[in-house]
């Protein structure tokens, strides 16, 4: 049976149906999808959250607790044993440097001084005696030597004349022998007198020994006088007596360890020992300002400065902390040793500086190109320091120094996006002081600039949806026509 009209192959018929369906989908997609995608760019809406650059205050701090103590505190002890005869001070007594605060019993010590003086006098007398004896012996020996030398010389001359006369046969042999014997005897006496010089050397050694005993006696006397002087106890520094450990009449024994008598402290200058957590100690510096309060004065704030950071750690409740010493004036003596202080260490405080939130450094180029794909075209081969692949700090910038998070050396560079003329523009900035929310911008921005700090709610989902007819066609091909 022959039917009228021409009908093409089945494939052509199916393509016609698919084309019709596709056209319908494109039409619907252009109505449903298009307005949702571009709603963030129409009607004056911006897909970003913006923050205005404006002046303000940078304030970063570390809070902790500590205890109040005197800067200068001295425990006064005694170096001598004995009974305390007088105690001239009490707790809260004001004392000056060198003022007498106590006396020990001095009877025995004075007797030792007298005994040492007597020994010294005896040693000096013995030395004088030895010196006199040596001098007298020297004089005697010198006189004897001189006398015997003259006699020996005369007898020698007499012997020489007798020998000449004997040669001329004017005297006998007996006379010559007698003259010779007299001369030899005188020479022997001269020799004996010269030998007595050795006895003088022995006497001089005795003099040296007596002189040494004098030195020993002088040292003993000086030691006895020092002990007597130490029995009068004086204040080594000016301050206030904050602790008294003894009373008058009590016996103290200074054998191995000097017993403490009183403690003197200068309360006009106090220190606060603050224990700072290891996570914060890297931001604390010597010279930083400190404010603290104590429970005794709830409405008063004391001010001081960090003067020392000890490197030795202290572990408290499994937390590593470091002792940070803070000095504060206490001229009115309001602060007392042992008070607990609630401390605020001011890491950085600057007024009237341009502020930008840290969040601006976390905006990457890819975040911007989701909505403005024309931004950065032709730069794919260059590395974006503000986006992935760039060197970024924890806040998204390039830091020149570590520890910039909470007021340490905070200088750094980074990139932010500024919304200008209806589109974002990337700007390089330099930032310095920071706190937990903002940073001080010193280069790259001016007051009134609108900086991108985030993406509007719902904008990201809209940007991820297929856009326009091409997006709808792609969606149809993937979801509806994928099986054909």
* pLDDT tens profile 163-176: 888 788 787 888 88
* pLDDT tens profile 343-366: 999 988 888 899 999 889 998 888
* pLDDT tens profile 124-142: 999 998 888 777 777 777 7
What are the CA-CA distances from residue 43 to residues 39, 299, 419, 453 (Å)?
7, 54, 17, 21
Residue 422's nearest CA partner among 92, 48, 26 is: 48
- Is the pLDDT at 255 greater than 90? The verdict is no
Confidence of residue 323 (pLDDT cuts 50, 70, 90): very high
| DSSP string across 144-179 | HHHHHHHHHHHHHHHHHHHHHHHHTT-S-HHHHHHH
- How many other β-carbons are positioned within 10 Å of the β-carbon of residue 423? 13
* pLDDT tens profile 72-108: 999 999 888 889 999 999 999 999 999 999 999 999 9
Task: Give the pLDDT mean for 58-66.
Answer: 91
* pLDDT tens profile 444-468: 899 999 999 988 876 655 555 544 4
Q: Which pLDDT belongs to residue 286?
A: 94
* pLDDT tens profile 18-51: 555 554 544 444 333 333 333 344 345 788 889 9
163 touches 139 (CB < 8 A): no
| DSSP string across 220-281 | HHHHHHHHHHHTEEE-SS-EEEEEE---TT-EE--SSSPPEEEEEEEEEEEEEEEEEEHHHH
Superfamily of structural domain 45-72+273-377+384-464: Efflux pump adaptor protein, beta barrel domain (2.40.30.170)
Q: What is the distance between the alpha carbons of residues 147 and 32, in angstroms, rounded to a whole number?
A: 152
Total-model pTM:
0.58
- Is the pLDDT at 4 greater than 70? The verdict is no
Length, in residues, of the chain: 484
Which of the given ranges, 152-166, 174-188, 264-278, has the highest pLDDT on average?
264-278
User: E strand or H helix at 82, and its extent?
Assistant: strand 82-87
Confidence of residue 256 (pLDDT cuts 50, 70, 90): low
């Amino acid at each position: 049976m022959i039917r009228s009209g021409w009908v093409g192959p089945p494939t052509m018929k199916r393509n016609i149906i698919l084309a019709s369906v596709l056209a319908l989908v494109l039409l619907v997609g252009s109505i449903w999808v298009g307005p949702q995608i571009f709603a963030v760019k129409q009607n004056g809406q911006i897909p970003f959250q913006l923050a205005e650059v404006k002046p303000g205050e940078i304030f970063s701090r570390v809070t902790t607790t500590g205890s109040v103590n005197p800067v200068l505190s001295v425990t006064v002890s005694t170096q001598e044993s004995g009974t305390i005869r007088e105690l001239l001070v009490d707790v809260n007594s004001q004392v000056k440097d060198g003022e007498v605060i106590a006396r020990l019993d001095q009877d025995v010590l004075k007797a030792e001084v007298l005994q040492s003086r007597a020994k010294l006098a005896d040693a000096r007398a013995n030395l004088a005696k030895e010196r006199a004896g040596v001098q007298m012996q020297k004089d005697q020996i010198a006189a004897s030597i001189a006398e015997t030398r003259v006699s020996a010389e005369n007898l020698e001359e007499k012997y020489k004349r007798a020998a000449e006369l004997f040669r001329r046969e004017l005297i006998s042999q007996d006379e010559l022998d007698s003259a010779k014997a007299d001369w030899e005897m005188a020479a022997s006496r001269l020799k004996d007198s010269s030998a007595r010089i050795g006895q003088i050397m022995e006497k001089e050694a005795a003099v040296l020994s007596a002189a040494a005993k004098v030195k020993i006696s002088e040292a003993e006397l000086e030691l006895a006088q020092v002990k007597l002087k130490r029995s009068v106890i004086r204040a080594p520094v000016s301050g206030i007596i904050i602790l008294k450990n003894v009373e008058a009449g009590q016996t103290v024994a200074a054998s191995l360890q000097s017993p403490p008598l009183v403690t003197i402290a200068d309360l006009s200058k106090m220190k606060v020992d603050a224990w700072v957590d290891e996570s914060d100690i890297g931001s604390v510096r010597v010279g930083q300002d400190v404010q603290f309060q104590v429970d005794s004065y709830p409405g008063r704030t004391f001010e001081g400065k960090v003067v020392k950071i000890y490197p030795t750690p202290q572990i408290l409740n499994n937390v590593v902390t470091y002792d940070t010493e803070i000095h504060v004036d206490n001229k009115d003596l309001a602060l007392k040793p042992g008070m607990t202080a609630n401390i605020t260490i001011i890491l950085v405080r600057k007024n009237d500086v341009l502020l930008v939130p840290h969040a601006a450094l976390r905006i990457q180029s890819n975040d911007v190109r989701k909505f403005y794909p024309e931004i950065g075209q032709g730069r794919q081969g260059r590395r974006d320091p503000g986006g992935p692949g760039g060197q970024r700090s924890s806040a998204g910038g390039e830091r020149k120094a570590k520890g910039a998070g909470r007021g340490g050396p905070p200088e750094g560079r980074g990139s932010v996006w500024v919304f200008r003329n209806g589109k974002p523009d990337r700007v390089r900035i330099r930032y310095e002081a920071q706190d937990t929310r903002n940073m001080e911008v010193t280069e790259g921005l001016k007051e009134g600039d609108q900086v991108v700090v985030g993406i509007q709610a719902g904008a990201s989902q809209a940007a991820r949806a297929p856009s326009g007819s091409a997006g709808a066609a792609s969606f149809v091909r993937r979801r509806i026509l994928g099986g054909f």
